[in-house]
Amino acid sequence: MSEQVKNKILALSSELNEHNYNYYVKSAPTISDYDFDILLKELEQLEKEHPEFAFDNSPTKRVGGDITKKFNSVKHQYPMLSLSNSYSEEEIKEWAERIHKLAENEISYVCELKYDGVAIGIRYKDGQIVQAVTRGDGTKGEEVTTNVKTIRTIPLQIGKNAPDEFEIRGEIFFPLDNFAKLNEQRASEGEELYANPRNTASGTLKLQNSKVVAERGLDCYLYGVYGENLGLTSHSEAVNAAGSWGFKIPDESKKMITKVNTIDEIMEFIHYWDAERKNLPFEIDGVVIKVDNYRQQDEMGFTAKSPRWAIAYKFKAEQVSTTLNEVTYQVGRTGAITPVANLAPVLLAGTTVKRASLHNKDQIEKLDLHLGDEVYVEKGGEIIPKIVGVDLSERPKNSEPIQFLENCPECSTALIRREGEAQHFCPNESTCPPQIKGRIEHFISRKAMDIDGLGPETIDLLNKQGLVNNYSDLYHLTFNQIVELERMADKSANNCIQSIEVSLEVPFERVLFALGIRHVGETVAKNLAKHFKTLDKLMAASFDELVAVDDIGDKIAISLQAFFLDEKNQEIIERLRACGLNFEIVLEEDASDKLNGQTFVISGVFEKVSRNELKSLIEKNGGKNTSSISAKTSYLVAGDKMGPAKLEKAEKLGLTIINEDEFLQLIGM
Ligand code: IVH
């Protein structure tokens, strides 16, 4: 029996590994996402039932969940060197000429991209991933294995054609679409946005909770193989071999890597990618040119810090200088204050730049900005241009350093800075206009209540006229009140009223998101709604009950309690309730709460329904699936071929054991 289970687990794992590779590395899946999920769930279940066969490198580890308390410092077996780099084509030519003299024979070069991420060294032994370490100071790095295992393009197990032991090196980065998604989510939670993909990739790798790392969707390209007696003779051979072992390597057909023989071809590669890099789904900050042949590499050797056989050409971030006219301050819906530099308009990378974000007070002080300064503006990875420095030679005489605001620019309330946070806040939630308007805009946004036809201008007008002071007022608006607003036609007014009415159907989880509670984004709202089922239960939950929910930590629990304790919020909630918003989970058609509070273990094989269907029936009807029998189990649903050990344990604990038919009766099927 146990041998059979073990073999099943191994077979499922290798099938899933194969699909994972086809999907993520090859971008050519051969089964549907749904079928993949079914296989994965089956493996998860088997591992739960037989933890003795739950291998460290199982495909189920991809979703993360393991916590790293402390990132251990690890010495690199092969030092992780850096590259000498240059911004000038002339210097690249000089480098090529220099090494030409060092080599006895003709030189072939490999040109590749310089990925803008975090360097990683990953060791494999006997086909298994064993350790992943960051670059650190080049001699020692931090072990981030658990987090790296969640990156789906990095194989956990590799094929038999790979060497027994080796280290592979590459760059972990944040794909731009995933980075944008993360920032959208941050915005919806009222949190400060992350500035750029590289730093965020680096921060993500050092998160303690690997589940969060898995959700963020990092990616990786590999560019080096290290080990003893690997039988490889050149860099290009190593990269191709790594590809055949299952690693994600640069795509030759997309010109991401090219073998060339002349300086002209190197320049061609540089020019191509300088223009083309804006179309890549990730960031690069240059290209790397490497001597291909290992023997020639050895002949050339190293300087103290970097190999002589490679050089990086770095793209220049486009930069201009312009005058800082004024610093203004924006107030977000959570009261967060963002300083904005107002600049003399200037052309940069094809667009006219008038403003740049300054992030926070510390940033202004770091740059030592004075009014009227001539500042350098750069458009790097960030979407919003940033100020990178000041031309001190142009500083106007007697100019004063910028003093950060002490009071809210909109309502004059004294600003606060909470411990450990970089941003200042206006604490006046109830009457500060941009906070009021920001909360209403969030409330009506597409992913929240999805109310059409009310743009920011209309909200502004409604607020100025005293008609809407908080989102609950929306449900008391009349057609006449709206149609009388400036530039509002009958049709659009009608549209607004209808859209407000339709929003009463929005499910509870989105209503909860719409309330705009700090740190409560879409996913958190969904988890809370699913767990507590009604707003009343959520409002009554203790701190301990809140943090017991999936993905809810101290920060969110504190924010929820503060929100619900506030009397004004309580009043608004009561008004919304009276208008008929959904404050409870509405059950799906075939769902019920018949199994509420009941815990099930299913075991064996069934005739009328599959195990997965059975599980989903349990959940749909409010019950909970668990894998192991304990005194807390309400029912053991026993099928054919159930293990005798399980049955014995259930009998010992005096559990109620039911068969398939009896279960179906429980839910009235
Ligand atoms: S080769 C001994 N190749 O750039 C040479 N590095 O400045 C080792 N990087 O730490 C590096 N893309 O993080 C190499 N195609 C590439 C690269 C690359 C990005 C990064 C890497 C390294 C840094 C060196």
pLDDT score recorded for residue 374: 96
Residue pointed to by tokens 């410092």 = 73
Kindly list the protein residues whose Cβ atom lies closer than 6 A to any atom of ligand 1: 81-83, 112-115, 119, 135, 171, 223-224, 288, 307, 310, 312
For the CA of 116, the nearest atom of ligand 1:
19
> Mean pLDDT, the chain, as a whole number?
91
Task: Supply the DSSP symbol for 22.
Answer: I
pLDDT in tens, 228-258: 999 999 999 999 999 999 999 999 999 999 9
pLDDT score recorded for residue 251: 95
Domain annotation covers residue 421: no
| Cβ contact 356:386 at 8 Å | yes
Q: Same domain, yes or no, for 288 and 147?
A: yes
The residue-averaged pLDDT of 446-458 equals 88
Domain count, the chain: 6
Identify which of 78, 81, 82, 134 to mutate to test ligand 1's pocket (most ligand atoms within 8 A of the CB): 82
Query: Any idea which residues carry the catalytic annotation?
Result: 114
Identify which of 76, 81, 115, 235 to mutate to test ligand 1's pocket (most ligand atoms within 8 A of the CB): 115
Which CATH number goes with the domain that contains 14?
Answer: 1.10.287.610
pLDDT at residue 34 is higher than 80: yes
Residue 319: what residue type?
A: Q
Q: Which one of 67-71, 171-175, 447-451, 600-604 scores highest in mean pLDDT? A: 171-175
For the CA of 85, the nearest atom of ligand 1:
7
The residue-averaged pLDDT of 101-121 equals 93
Q: Same domain, yes or no, for 297 and 268?
A: yes
| Least reliable range by pLDDT among 114-118, 500-504, 532-536, 549-553 | 549-553
User: Residue 242: in which H helix or E strand, if any?
Assistant: helix 235-245
Domain annotation covers residue 400: no
CA–centroid distance, residue 116 to ligand 1 (Å)? 9
Cα gap 280→256, rounded to integer Å: 10
Domain annotation covers residue 367: yes
Domain annotation covers residue 399: no
Structure tokens at 309: 């056989």
| Least reliable range by pLDDT among 324-338, 554-568, 640-654 | 640-654
Q: Same domain, yes or no, for 243 and 199?
A: yes
Residue pointed to by tokens 């200088």 = 321
Q: Same domain, yes or no, for 645 and 656?
A: yes
Domain annotation covers residue 445: yes
Which CATH number goes with the domain that contains 605?
Answer: 3.40.50.10190
**More confident call, 101 vs 271:** 271
CA–centroid distance, residue 83 to ligand 1 (Å)? 6
Which CATH number goes with the domain that contains 559?
Answer: 1.10.150.20
Q: How confident is the model at residue 20 (pLDDT cuts 50, 70, 90)?
A: very high
pLDDT at residue 498 is higher than 80: yes
Ordered DSSP codes for 87-141: S-HHHHHHHHHHHHHH-SS---EEEEEEE-SEEEEEEEETTEEEEEEE-TTSSEE
Closest CA to 330 of 415, 420, 431: 415
pLDDT score recorded for residue 506: 94
Domain annotation covers residue 240: yes
Q: Same domain, yes or no, for 52 and 195?
A: no
SS3 222: strand
pLDDT at residue 587 is higher than 80: no
Domain annotation covers residue 439: yes
pLDDT score recorded for residue 648: 85
Q: Same domain, yes or no, for 141 and 217?
A: yes
Question: Domain range holding 52?
Answer: 2-63
Q: Same domain, yes or no, for 533 and 621?
A: no
Nearest CA owner, ligand 1 atom 18: 114
CA–centroid distance, residue 297 to ligand 1 (Å)? 16
Domain boundary, last residue among 16, 45, 63: 63
Domain annotation covers residue 415: no
Cα gap 565→559, rounded to integer Å: 10
The residue-averaged pLDDT of 162-177 equals 96
**More confident call, 320 vs 2:** 320
Q: Same domain, yes or no, for 198 and 91?
A: yes
| Cβ contact 91:178 at 8 Å | no
pLDDT score recorded for residue 304: 77
The residue-averaged pLDDT of 120-128 equals 96
Which CATH number goes with the domain that contains 372?
Answer: 2.40.50.140
Q: Same domain, yes or no, for 572 and 520?
A: yes
Closest CA to 190 of 521, 668, 652: 521
Residue 558: what residue type?
A: I
| Cβ contact 378:317 at 8 Å | yes
CA–centroid distance, residue 101 to ligand 1 (Å)? 24
Domain boundary, last residue among 364, 394, 424: 394
Q: Same domain, yes or no, for 81 and 56?
A: no
pLDDT in tens, 628-639: 888 888 899 998
Domain boundary, last residue among 346, 371, 394: 394
Q: Same domain, yes or no, for 551 and 649?
A: no
The residue-averaged pLDDT of 537-552 equals 92
Cα gap 525→306, rounded to integer Å: 49
Nearest CA owner, ligand 1 atom 9: 114
pLDDT at residue 476 is higher than 90: yes
The residue-averaged pLDDT of 402-421 equals 94
pLDDT score recorded for residue 532: 94
Cβ neighbors of 267 (< 8 A, separation 6 or more) are 89, 92
pLDDT score recorded for residue 403: 94
CA–centroid distance, residue 21 to ligand 1 (Å)? 24
pLDDT score recorded for residue 645: 79
Q: Same domain, yes or no, for 228 and 299?
A: yes
pLDDT at residue 381 is higher than 60: no
The residue-averaged pLDDT of 615-642 equals 85
